[in-house]
Amino acid sequence: MEITELDRLKLYQLKVQQVIEEVGKVVVGQERMLNRLLIGLFTNGHILLEGVPGLAKTLIINTLARVLHMDFHRIQFTPDLLPADLVGTMIYNQKTGEFEVKKGPIFANLILADEVNRSPAKVQSALLEAMQERQVTIGDTTYPLDKPFLVLATQNPVEQEGTYPLPEAQVDRFMMKVYVDYLDKAQELEVMRRMSNVNFNGEVRTVLDKSDIFAIRDEINRVTISETLEKYIIELVFATRRPLEYGLKEEAAYIQFGVSPRASINLNRAAKATAFLNGRDYVLPEDIKEVAHDVMNHRLLLNYEAEADGISSSQIVEMILKKVAIGR
């Protein structure tokens, strides 16, 4: 019996729900963070997580990797990390008298770049090639990375001593930058009870493999978005570049540069993925608004006046969402 399009859609949505349930066996709360990681996974987009220590950023990525049947490497970024520590290097073999390639930890499907802002520019440059081109260069040879390839990076906003601000070009390569907040009281109580149990092992089962990931990506590609909503995305993007044309007089004084074209591309992809995760094969305006902050926050560059007045990019995006009408 042939599986219909609707049956296939429901099947993969069920599998995604099973992934969420498995991760939930280990990680309490943080549903929004997991949702954004899944959106990145299913749309081939890298994700940057920012939050204070202890909010399960590393744990949730580690757990997700175990639920997915894919190669996973965790790389701890430090000030003394070298590009060769990331991508690999040429090693001289005394027996053969020739140089051999030793591939680095970047050769995996899922990369956890822990505290990514603690390494200098040369390492960031090597990571940037891998993120954008899905390839790395060792010596004179370029090696393609396995598919899927996804960088899930974390950074700590509190400890700025000994950190290197990420280049704007690299930040723009992240599909979304997700600000991770504290749990509520009930969730933190559950974390305390669960983690204080010395017998807690955090075992999870594998739910998805590579073929499932590619199949889900195909399903998300089939999610429809109306021309009206496509134009709405463009209007949101242009409102950051020409705020005065959209009646954003106060906000215009704080914006130095609007978002890049990657914002419109990733808003479209993220909205489709959100519709899929919500059980639909079509995009609603709410899907776009739900992911707008995470897609646009890190691409919107504010000036010193905004910093002096305590204005954040999130506040600017919120005003844009309020003032830009659908079907403008």
Kindly report the CATH number assigned to the domain that includes residue 303: 1.10.8.80
Let me know if residue 328 belongs to a domain: no
CA distance 204 to 25: 7
Tell me, rounded to whole angstroms, the distance of Cα 322 from its chain centroid: 25
Q: Is the domain of 229 the same as that of 207?
A: no
Residue 2 has pLDDT above 60, yes or no: no
Encode pLDDT of 95-141 as tens digits. 777 778 888 899 988 888 888 888 888 888 888 888 888 888 887 88
What are the C-alpha distances in Å from 270 to residues 61, 114, 139, 262, 323? 19, 24, 36, 12, 21
Q: H or E segment at 126?
A: helix 121-133
Q: Cβ neighbours of residue 311 under 8 Å, at least 6 residues apart?
A: 254, 302, 305
Looking at mean pLDDT, say which of 28-37, 99-108, 167-176, 219-228 comes out highest.
219-228
Q: Is the domain of 284 the same as that of 200?
A: no
Domain range holding 202? 5-216
Q: Is the domain of 190 the same as that of 275?
A: no
Average pLDDT, the chain: 86
- Mean pLDDT in residue range 132-151: 86
Q: Is the domain of 27 the same as that of 146?
A: yes
Domain count, the chain: 2
CA distance 64 to 299: 27
Residue 160 has pLDDT above 70, yes or no: no
- Mean pLDDT in residue range 228-245: 93
Residue 232 identity:
Y
Q: How confident is the model at residue 1 (pLDDT cuts 50, 70, 90)?
A: very low
Q: Is the domain of 197 the same as that of 287?
A: no
The C-alpha angle 12, 152, 230, rounded to 5 degrees, equals 60
Q: Is the domain of 299 the same as that of 200?
A: no
Q: Is the domain of 28 the same as that of 117?
A: yes
